[in-house]
Amino acid sequence: MGQNITLTASDGHQLDAYLANPAGDAKGRLVVVQEIFGVNSHIRDVCDGYAERGYVALAPAMFDRLEKNFECGYDAEGVAAGRELKGRCPWPEAALDIEAARAHLAGDGTVAIVGYCWGGSLAWLGATEGGYCAAVGYYGGQIIELNDRQPQCPVLLHFGELDGGIPLSDVDKIAATHPEVTIHVYEGADHGFNCDQRGSYNEASAKLALGRTLEHFASVFG
């Protein structure tokens, strides 16, 4: 369903991206932001899933500045490799690459953003930078670091109750600072509960979160 395209950031950096288009008229346009594992088969599946539901979905390769064509699995080696790259990807450069994806879609209408894991934090960053009509973040562990920033669009956040990397105290702080943000915590769900390639996949929570995500987008795209 999808195809690989090339984006150009405002500083001249060129990066790959995976673009999935719906079969008919688009309901809306989404920037889909990867986990630390790259634009791998799961993220491509996520994009394809949004396209099947009527959305244009574009996933920029956020690690292209550091390592072209990076993809990895969910084992310990993959986690270590992804974390190492994430640690060398500062917020300002990540923001440029997300903006390149948004700008590519913006000519066709308004754009929303959705991200997973590291991408969940980047979706929050994008929401605070402006230019989006809506944002959704799945288990973004670094949102707490950006909690002093104010979203410029409606935001929906998903967290797992059992996520050891994101204390519920952090979720409470985000909720207290941003009462306008809709936050859901999924009972019995761990980090990565949306990814059906991970041992932490929780089908019930993933389906519920997707339904809420689609409702959130429908409320702004009409």
Q: Do residues 141 and 172 lie in contact, with contact meaning Cβ atoms separated by under 8 Å? A: no
Quote the domain boundaries for residue 89.
2-221
| Start-end of H helices in 107-201 | 118-129, 168-177
Six-digit token string for 136: 């959704």
pLDDT, residue 109, reads 84
Number of structural domains, the chain? 1
Q: Provide the percentage of residues in the chain whose pLDDT is more than 70.
A: 100
**pLDDT reading at 1 higher than 80:** no
CA angle 66, 70, 35 (to 5 degrees): 95
Model pLDDT, residue 107:
84
In CATH, what number is assigned to the domain containing residue 51? 3.40.50.1820
What's the confidence (pLDDT) of residue 220?
Answer: 95
Mean confidence (pLDDT) of the chain: 97
Residues 6 or more apart whose CB falls under 8 angstroms from that of 170 comprise 143, 144
Do 14 and 25 form a contact (C-beta atoms < 8 A)? no
Q: What is the pLDDT of residues 14-31, one digit of tens each?
A: 999 999 999 999 999 999
First to last CA, the chain: 24
Point out the residues that are catalytic. Answer: 117, 163, 191
Predicted TM-score of the model (pTM): 0.97
Both tokens of residue 139? 């288990």
Distance separating alpha carbons of residues 32 and 17, to the nearest angstrom: 10
